[in-house]
Amino acid sequence: MKGWLIMYFYSAYPPMPYQQPFYNAYPAFSLTSYRQYPPIDTTLFNQSIIAMQKLMKDASLILKKLAESKEFAFKVMSAAQESHTKEVKQLIESIGIQSKVDIYYNPDGIRLTLSSKAGQIECCKLAISLRWKTFL
């Protein structure tokens, strides 16, 4: 309960006949009893989970290809450093991924953001950030 301070004082002496103990002056209440929550529907949540599993499979394909093929990794890095965004995107999509991919890069590395929809709603994104240069 943010902003509330509830203090309880206990004394070895009984309260005076005309006094009520401090803790009885403010009866306990629950904030949750005043809130109305909508009924839970897990449909979109489940669709998002399934879509995220597909994104993770695509991410795994990308990482596997980059790790196993130094030639492919060189092409991606070279195209990105020369600001050939379309070529980088074509190279990544040539792996056979099903997801939409957005590519951002700078001199330090590359970030691939895979996204998916559940029906007409964009439900989930998975970002992969890879570094290829250090500046000392």
Tell me the per-residue pLDDT of 29-61, one tens digit each, with 9 for 90 and over: 555 556 788 889 899 999 999 999 999 999 999
> Is 87 among the domain residues?
yes
* Predicted local distance difference test score (pLDDT) of residue 15: 57
> Is 62 among the domain residues?
yes
> Is 15 among the domain residues?
no
> Is 14 among the domain residues?
no
Q: Which pTM value belongs to this model? A: 0.69
* Predicted local distance difference test score (pLDDT) of residue 71: 97
Which segments in the chain show pLDDT lower than 50? 1, 5, 7
In 3D space, the residue among 79, 81, 76, 82 whose CA is nearest the CA of residue 128 turns out to be 76
Q: Which domain holds residue 68?
A: 45-131
> Is 34 among the domain residues?
no
How many structural domains compose the chain?
1
> Is 72 among the domain residues?
yes
CA gap 87, 85 in Å, rounded: 5
> Is 116 among the domain residues?
yes
Q: Are 101 and 92 contacting, i.e. CB atoms less than 8 angstroms apart?
A: yes
> Is 32 among the domain residues?
no
